[in-house]
Structure 1
Amino acid sequence: MFKDIIVGITPTGIDDFAVKAAAEFARKFEANLYLVHVAGMAQGWGSVERLEPSGETAKLKDQIDGMYGEVLRDIPNSQIMVVPGIPHNELLRLARKKNADLVVMGPHTKEYEEKRSKMWGMAGSTLERVSQKARCPVMVVHKDVVCKEPLFENILIATDFSDQAECAVSYGAQMARQYKARLTVMHVADLEAEKDKLTARLESEYGPRLSGLENCSYEVCTGQPPMEILKTSQNLHADLVIMAHHSKEQDPEKAFMGSTVVQVALNAPSPTMSVNRYFDLRCGLMYDQTGNVMEADSAKV
């Protein structure tokens, strides 16, 4: 299913769970795996151009190899990369270059644990920006992931009826078909009185895309979106939460602090996947945007 996987890492060890999960996926699907650290920001803007000539990138690569070399030992198509630049720009550029079908990230900031204890849902801007702009799905992993068979049995999709959320629903439907998983599509409403109307809207808008799924349901609740999504995820024992990452905020700092996806991702017991564009699973069966099976040579990514 996943053929080219990129993991954004730092040399701090905070991304251990993300690396281990990506390594498990790479073994399971015989995928290409790239562990990528973008250096330069910690050393200062003026030093970006001299990192490679000075040998700093080689030292960082050796350090990361010491951390994760054993994890990658039995993955033949794995590579550790250290590149200079701005983290989110370089990760996005590499994902495009490799035509990646999955980017895996941890909290991606060494201050994560300290800040999280002070402010619920705090996250690094690299995670925020990659999740928002990536052309392929981005999976955030901050806890141990059990690579079982089937890989996903219980998938939760949270939607706000945006165009990006429609892409997330389509991708989640593909995954549910591939794994014969139980699928729940949920929406968080502002008012209790709107629940029946919005449940009907979920069925009307997404029903055609979910046709043929044996175990599919819709749920509408009221409250704060991050809290309600987390609560529903726990109640359903979801092993994957899929959302779309977008923001109406023009101020990037407000968007960063208020991101529902990031708040859910850093607190959910399961991995959280951000999907903002139509993207097909690389598996035996491919599906169009309405959930119909496509011929292999006509499927587009």
Structure 2
Amino acid sequence: MFKDIIVGVTPTGIDECAVKAAAEFATKFESKLYLTHVAGMEQGWGSIETLEPSGETGQLQERMTQMYGKYLESIPDSQIKVVAGIPHNELLRLARQKNTDLIVMGPHTKEYEEKRAKMWGMAGSTLERVSQRARCPVMIVCKDVDCKEPLFQNIIVATDFSDQAECAVAYGGQMARQYKANLVLIHVTEPGGPGKSECMTRLEKAYEGRMDGIQGHSYKVEVGEPAMEILRLARQQDADLIIMAHHSKESDPDKAFLGSTVTQVALNAPCPTMSVNRFFDLRCGLMYDQTGQVVEAEAEAAV
């Protein structure tokens, strides 16, 4: 499923769980793996004070090799890349050049354990910018991943019925079919909003036709705070993956920062969280027949 994978790293070592997961995926899928660090980030991905001179990239590359090289030894098509520049620009540029299928990122800040909510919610951080503009899914890994066989057995997709959530549901369905995984679609309604019965009817009407070929699927409606309910379900279901649309209700892309529900879920989830955005919606370009099956995938749209 993933043929070209980029994993963004810093010299802090806090990204080890993301590197391990990306290496496992690359081994399993025989993928090309690009472990990438952008020089000039001493304070974490959310703070760029001074761009490092390009002459220091050699020392940084040696450091990256010492820190993470052991995970790449068994991956023939792997590279450690150190470049100078603005981190989100360079990661996105590399992703476009390689036509990447997946970007993997970790917490990316030394103060993660103490200040994770503040740092991740900071508008303009590299994680936010990459998640906002990547043309492929962005997988956020904050804990070690158990790469078992099959890789994914229980997948959760959160939907708010928006257009942007359509691709998240379609992508989750594709993965569930490929891995013969169980798929749970969850919608969280706010207190005072539409009732659970009404939302359940809407879920079934909107998505039942697209569940053909998925050996086990179900729907869940909860009332409350979305992140808390999604996390509760992930633990109850022993989820391997959570898929969400990046700020699916935000119509202005310049305001669509990763700072609310997706952030809270990704930081606290027991498994990786995958974010898809409007650019991937264009790339996805999915079309369905009357049974809800995918019949065509358009070429990537120019953005």
TM-score range relative to shorter protein: 0.7 to 0.9
**1:242-261 paired onto structure 2 within 5 Å:** 242-246=243-247, 248=250, 255-256=257-258, 258-261=259-262
Which segments of structure 1 move beyond 6 Å, counting only runs of 4 or more?
43-46, 249-254
CA distance in 1, matches of 2:288, 2:31: 25
Amino acid paired to 1:23: A
Question: Aligned with 2:53: secondary structure?
Answer: helix
TM-score by length of 2: 0.86
After TM superposition, the structure 1 stretch with the greater mean CA deviation from structure 2, 20-29 or 185-194, is 185-194
Q: CA deviation at 1:208?
A: 2.3
Is the Cα contact below 8 Å between 2:159 and 2:185 reproduced in 1?
Answer: yes
**1:1-301 paired onto structure 2 within 5 Å:** 1-42=1-42, 48=51, 51-52=53-54, 55-116=55-116, 119=117, 122=120, 125-191=125-191, 194-246=195-247, 248=250, 255-256=257-258, 258-276=259-277, 277-278=280-281, 288-289=287-288, 292=293, 294=295, 300-301=299-300
What's the % identity of the aligned pairs? 60
Q: CA deviation at 1:278?
A: 3.8
Aligned pair count reads 288
What stretches of structure 2 of length at least 5 have no aligned partner?
A: none
Q: CA deviation at 1:202?
A: 1.1
Q: CA deviation at 1:292?
A: 2.7
What stretches of structure 1 of length at least 5 have no aligned partner?
A: 282-286
CA distance in 2, matches of 1:191, 1:8: 39
Amino acid paired to 1:140: I
CA distance in 1, matches of 2:276, 2:243: 7
After TM superposition, the structure 1 stretch with the greater mean CA deviation from structure 2, 97-106 or 122-131, is 122-131
CA distance in 2, matches of 1:250, 1:205: 25
Residues 8-43 of structure 1, C-alpha deviations (whole Å, 9 max, x = no match): 100100100000000001111110000111112449
In the alignment, which residue of structure 2 is the partner of 1:284?
A: none
CA distance in 2, matches of 1:293, 1:230: 29
Question: Aligned with 2:268: secondary structure?
Answer: coil
Is the Cα contact below 8 Å between 1:157 and 1:185 reproduced in 2?
Answer: yes
Q: 1:151 to 1:16 in 2, by over 3 A?
A: same
Is the Cα contact below 8 Å between 2:121 and 2:260 reproduced in 1?
Answer: no
Is the Cα contact below 8 Å between 1:159 and 1:243 reproduced in 2?
Answer: yes
Amino acid paired to 2:179: Y
Is the Cα contact below 8 Å between 1:32 and 1:78 reproduced in 2?
Answer: yes
TM-score by length of 1: 0.87
Q: 1:177 to 1:121 in 2, by over 3 A?
A: farther
Q: CA deviation at 1:92?
A: 1.3
CA distance in 1, matches of 2:149, 2:40: 40
Amino acid paired to 1:204: K
Q: 1:121 to 1:65 in 2, by over 3 A?
A: closer
Is the Cα contact below 8 Å between 1:156 and 1:240 reproduced in 2?
Answer: yes
Is the Cα contact below 8 Å between 1:170 and 1:278 reproduced in 2?
Answer: no
